[in-house]
């Protein structure tokens, strides 16, 4: 949810008309930049939702997918960093892998 709102804002902002004082070459640079960053954030937000759904369903692939999404989230200071560190801290140890496999087999 933390990524979804700014992603949608950037995607909508990439279509807005900038003030006339902004040079045309800067406008032609900023619109694709805002759109690209917005799409990246939207994809990462979707990945977070998929990871959360997979963990709730105890899907066998969800642990590895959440580790990958958690590692990518480390660059999102400060909340993504905190959530990424926590995700890696909980899911990376070998004991966590065995425990998750046992939960996935029974759930």
Residue-range domain boundaries for the chain: 4-106
For residue 64, give Cα distances in angstroms to 46, 55, 81: 16, 10, 18
Q: What is the pLDDT of residue 9?
A: 93
Residue 47 has pLDDT above 90, yes or no: yes
Label residue 1 by pLDDT band (50, 70, 90).
low
Say how far apart CA 87 and CA 24 lie, in whole Å: 43
Tokens matching residue 94: 């070998």
Say how far apart CA 13 and CA 31 lie, in whole Å: 8
Mean pLDDT of 43-53: 95
């Amino acid at each position: 949810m933390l990524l979804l709102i700014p992603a949608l804002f950037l995607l909508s902002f990439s279509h807005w008309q900038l003030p006339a004082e902004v040079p045309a070459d800067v406008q032609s640079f900023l619109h694709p930049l805002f759109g690209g960053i917005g799409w990246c954030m939207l994809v990462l937000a979707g990945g977070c939702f998929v990871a959360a759904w997979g963990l709730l369903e105890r899907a066998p692939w969800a642990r590895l997918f959440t580790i990958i999404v958690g590692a990518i989230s480390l660059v999102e200071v400060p909340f993504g960093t905190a959530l990424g560190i926590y995700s890696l801290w909980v899911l990376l140890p070998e004991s966590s892998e065995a425990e998750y496999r046992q939960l996935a087999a029974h759930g």
